[in-house]
Structure formats: C-alpha cells, structure tokens
Structure 1
Amino acid sequence: MLHYLAWVPDPRDRRGVRHSLVSILGLATAAALAGSRGFTAIGEWVLDASPQVWAAFGVRRDPLTRKFESPDEATIRRVVEDVDADALDAAIGSWPASALRSRQTNRPPAGSAGRRRALAVDGKALRATHHHTTDSQALHLLSVLDQAAGIVLNQTNVQGKTNEITRFRPLLEPLDLTGAVVTADALHTQRDHAEFLVTRKDAHYILAVKKNQPSLYSQLKGLPWRKVPITHAENDHGHGRDERRTVKIVSVTQGLLFPHTAQAIAITRRTRQAGTKKWKTITAYAVTSLATHQATPTEIASWIRGHWSIEALHHVRDVSFGEDASQVRTGNGPRVMATFRNLVTGILRLTGHDNIAAAQRHHSRNPVRTLTTLGISPA
C-alpha cells in the first residue's frame, strides 16, 4: 500500500515538512481500518499506536533522542484536506485492483464464458456536506466497483447528481475494461456512454431503461414479451418480505433506438410482505450489448442483481462508518475520507471479512493487526 501512496503528490511547501505524506496517509488508512471516523479519532489512534506501528509507517524520529514524533491531529487534518483527491483515488484504486488481478492470473481471458468481469457504476451524495458548499448541495461522488470482489476501482467528484453523466467517461477512462460488462442505472443509459464502452473500451454494457428515455422505453415495453419464455427465475425470502424474480431476454438485432444493443431484457419482480397474500408486481427493462453466445441468461441475471453490490457498499459506509453523519466537511476532507472508507471496505473484503463492523473492532483492539491486513512488514 505504501508503494502506491508514494504516487500521490505532496501539496505542502517542502520547507518545514516534518512528516512524510506517505506516513500520514498510511496511518490515516490504518486508523480507518480500526474504526476511526473523523480527524479526532484518527489523531487519537495514531497517538496511541505502538512504536512498531510508527516504525512500519516511517514515522519521523527526533534526530537527537531517537524518539518517535508521530503526527498530531492538526497535521493529519491539514494534509487530508489539501491532498490531491484525484491522485489519491487513482493510487488507492490501483492497489486493490492489482491484488485482484493477481488472483485472476490463472483464469481464462476476461471475455470468456463464465469469467467476464462485471463492474457497477453508481453515485452517492455525502449528505452532511451540504452546509459547507457554495450552492448548498451535498458533495456527490461517482464510483465504479468490481461486483465480485466488492472493491472500488476508481472514484470521481461531480457537482451534483445531474452531472453524473459528464463524469461517467472520466471515471472509466483510466481502467482496462477489455471484455468486461459495465452495469449502470437509467441515468447513464446514454448513447455516448454505449459508444464509449463498446468502441473505445472494448467492453459491454447492461443499462437500465426508464421513462427518462421515453422512445426507447416505449420500444422495449412494446415488445411481444408474452410470447417470450422465462429464461431465469429465482425466489428470495428476507427482510420481512417474499420476492419472486423472473427474467426474459430477447434478441433485437435491428430497429432498437440505442447503439450496439444485442438483447432486450425484462425483469419482473413480485413482492409481498411476509404473512400477507397481496403481491405487488413491477416490471423493469434493460438493454445489453451482449449477444446470446456471449453470456447466458443466468449470467445476465446475476450481473443485474450484482449491480446492487455498490448500493451495499454505500450502506456499509453509512452504517459502519457513519458517513452521512460525518463532521468532516471542509476542503478535500469529505472525499478523501470516503476514499479511505472505500479502501478499508475493499481490503477487508479481499481478506475474507464479511462483517465490516466486527473487523474494525478486531483491528481496534491491537494496532499491530493493521500491519498484517495492509500487507506491511513490521519494522
């Protein structure tokens, strides 16, 4: 991790710098791994860490006494608020992505059946930040997540939810998407996005279609779905309700008002509250550039459902990290803290932790444990 953090440029004047940027960002990540939610908690965790931890992160020693001089809360706050958030996201996204690639070296090529990577794109507002913006809008971030691993590969800032569309391409441009399938909600069902993914990135898409695209929505709704057989069905019971999902897929080689579409999808969800008999039925539509020989109906259904993995991450950030109640609101602090939360969640997923809150408590009881999880050798 420290190797990737070294890519981030230091925003400080070189004169008077006492603590390296890598050590500050590394310690802040370790503190977040142990459950620290804000600058005060991070500062306290760093102060209480052991000399073994300080040494591993390269904390400065007094040249005369050789005692460690760990950075205080004020120093950590200034660095986090001033650091280049784009560069940090790029560096931090590269580390788990590299770990993920190393796990996939023995797999078949990315585009082969059953092994296609699925990436989910979605945005999230940091609600507590709206009081500290000039237009009273909360900071909004757009992220791309690997569905299978649950790790964020990149993140970018947008000026408001309506501008997510303009940030879609910059978000995905740095990534190798060859053979991957990208899922996104109806906001990103844009012709330019489809062209970018298929012709520029050699990728595929599954995009939801709603009434914000009235012509396309009307075309999909008007297809002869009653004559199309169900290609995938599943039942789910949980959260006090029963749900039945069916998926129908039909080839549409020509005539559809959307570029590179090979198949149209209809997902019907029937839900009812447990103990009742009344069902509620909703049908949603989507389009995909994947042809019948490139993905099975079961795979397409799994990727559609897997898109909610990014919503699950947002839920973790709110519940386990208290993101929407965070008091970090100035400078680049809110976005950088969101980056730390993404990174910590991804690391814990990669190391086999399903319960993020329990994993944070586990690391908080012994600061040295963070070194092992972060792949840092004790000094």
Structure 2
Amino acid sequence: MAGQVEVDAKSNETAAFQPLLGALDLTGVTVTFDAMHTVRANLDWLVTTRNAHYVAVVKANQPLLRARLARLPWTDIPTTEITRDHGHGRDETRTLKVATVGFLDFPHAAQAVRIIRWRRAKGRRPSRETVYLITDHPTETASPALLAAYARRHWHVENKIHYVRDVSFGEDASTLRTGNIPTNIATLRSVVINRLRRAGYRFIPPGRRDHTTPTTALDLHGFP
C-alpha cells in the first residue's frame, strides 16, 4: 500500500482522491480507480497537473457518460481479448472490446473499453456483468492487451484487498464511528490480512478459521 488518508465522517472517498495521490510522483504513471472517483475534476487533475494517465471505471454515478458508452456500436467492433480465471470458488470469463472516441465530453478521453464478465459460482446460476472504462491513452500508447492488463490488475487489488475487507471482515457493515476506533480497527484488519498472506494463505477465510484461539493467533504474529 503506497499510502492512505482518513475520510472525514461528513465527507466521502471522492474528496480524498487528490489528497491521497498528491504526495506521489505520478509522472507517466497510469492510475486505475473505482467508479466513485470517475469525476471530471479528478481526471483532469491527473492528466494536466500530475502528468499521469488514467483508466477509469464508469458506472451509474455518471449516467450520461455510461449511456454514451452503451450506445457505441459494439456489435461492429471485434473482440480483442478473452481471459479466463478461477478463484473464490467461481469461474470467470472476460471479453474485451476497445473503441477510439473523441466525443464523450469527458476530460482527455481517447479510448473506451467494454468488458463483459461471465461468472459461474458453485451452487449459483451464471451471471453476466457489463463494465465500461475510459482512458486518456491513445491507441499508440495503450493497446487492447495493455488495457486488459490494467483492468485485471485493478480487479486483482479489488479481490485481494477490498473484497477481503468488505466480505471476510464485514468492514462496510461496521457501525463503529467513535473517535479513532474506525482507524484503529482498520489497521488491525490490515495487520491480520498481511500476516495471513505472509503465512502462505491464498484465501483469507481458511486462515482466519485456523487462528481462532488465543494461542494460534499469537503464533501467527510471532509472539511466544
């Protein structure tokens, strides 16, 4: 983790975007982030002030932009990348298409990406999700294969960090709000996650089940 900032209870994560990244040298770096941060000010700041690039997820918080992306002639655009993965008890197939754009009325957008994710989890019906992304990278600096790699790396972070914190530890459902308690608890969660990964656990739930007693918990952290 390169850094973190605390989000004020009366604010949200979007307001923390620039303060968090402001201390980093982003020259030439391609930044990926959740759809919550896909706002004009952030994208323009990355490109014009920090000399960086972006690959931004577009969801319902930008309804007009998402509608424009959905209306692109995707049926006429060939599939350029297909990837398959297995993890968290599910099989996932992703198909990617890329279109050059110059009319989205969003800062510096040069290419649009559509990814269709098919998921099949044991005991559940298959599901399909369509994800749109935009990037300031032109085709000369970001091929479809590279854009697919950026998307995979972003979801890897989602699965390895956010998914674990939200699902395995129930962080989003936490009602702790007093003083420094949320920050302290978040720090403890991070310590446990990192120790389990260093101990060789690929998935966090089995690691937690193996360390439910005081003795095993202390052993995990190296206490005699």
| Partner in structure 2 of residue 154 of structure 1 | 4
Q: How does 1:161-200 map onto structure 2 within 5 Å?
A: 163-200=12-49
Q: Secondary structure at the match of 1:158?
A: coil
| Partner in structure 1 of residue 51 of structure 2 | 202
**Cα pair distance change 1:341/1:206, threshold 3 Å:** same
Contact in 1 for aligned 2:78/2:97 (Cα 8 Å): yes
Q: Does 1:244 align with 2:93?
A: yes
TM-score normalized by structure 1? 0.48
For residues 130 and 27 of structure 2, what CA distance do their matches in structure 1 show?
Answer: 31
Return the offset for 1:258: 0.7
| Partner in structure 2 of residue 365 of structure 1 | 219
| Partner in structure 2 of residue 335 of structure 1 | 183
**Cα pair distance change 1:340/1:159, threshold 3 Å:** same
TM-score normalized by structure 2? 0.76
Residue by residue, what CA displacement relative to the aligned partner does 1:10-50 show, whole Å, maximum 9, x if unpaired? xxxxxxxxxxxxxxxxxxxxxxxxxxxxxxxxxxxxxxxxx
* Structure with greater contact order relative to length (CA < 8 Å, sep ≥ 6): 1
Q: Does 1:297 align with 2:144?
A: yes
Q: How does 1:86-125 map onto structure 2 within 5 Å?
A: none
The one-letter amino acid of 2:66's match is Y
Residue identity (%): 43
Q: Secondary structure at the match of 1:307?
A: helix
Return the offset for 1:249: 0.9
Residue by residue, what CA displacement relative to the aligned partner does 1:88-129 show, whole Å, maximum 9, x if unpaired? xxxxxxxxxxxxxxxxxxxxxxxxxxxxxxxxxxxxxxxxxx
Q: Does 1:234 align with 2:83?
A: yes
Q: Secondary structure at the match of 2:160?
A: helix
Number of residue equivalences: 215
| Partner in structure 2 of residue 54 of structure 1 | none
Structure of greater Rg: 1
Which stretches in structure 1 are left out of the alignment for 5+ residues? 1-150, 371-379
| Partner in structure 2 of residue 106 of structure 1 | none
**Cα pair distance change 1:354/1:201, threshold 3 Å:** farther
Contact in 2 for aligned 1:243/1:272 (Cα 8 Å): yes
Contact in 2 for aligned 1:243/1:271 (Cα 8 Å): yes
**Cα pair distance change 1:306/1:320, threshold 3 Å:** same
Return the offset for 1:263: 0.7
| Partner in structure 2 of residue 376 of structure 1 | none
The one-letter amino acid of 1:365's match is D
Return the offset for 1:274: 5.0
Return the offset for 1:281: 3.4
For residues 119 and 175 of structure 2, what CA distance do their matches in structure 1 show?
Answer: 38
**Cα pair distance change 1:202/1:238, threshold 3 Å:** same
Q: Secondary structure at the match of 1:217?
A: helix
Residue by residue, what CA displacement relative to the aligned partner does 1:307-347 show, whole Å, maximum 9, x if unpaired? 23235323434677675787975321321331343356457
Q: Secondary structure at the match of 1:266?
A: strand
| Partner in structure 2 of residue 224 of structure 1 | 73
The one-letter amino acid of 2:158's match is I
The one-letter amino acid of 2:147's match is I
Contact in 2 for aligned 1:152/1:343 (Cα 8 Å): no
**Cα pair distance change 1:263/1:310, threshold 3 Å:** same
**Cα pair distance change 1:363/1:273, threshold 3 Å:** closer
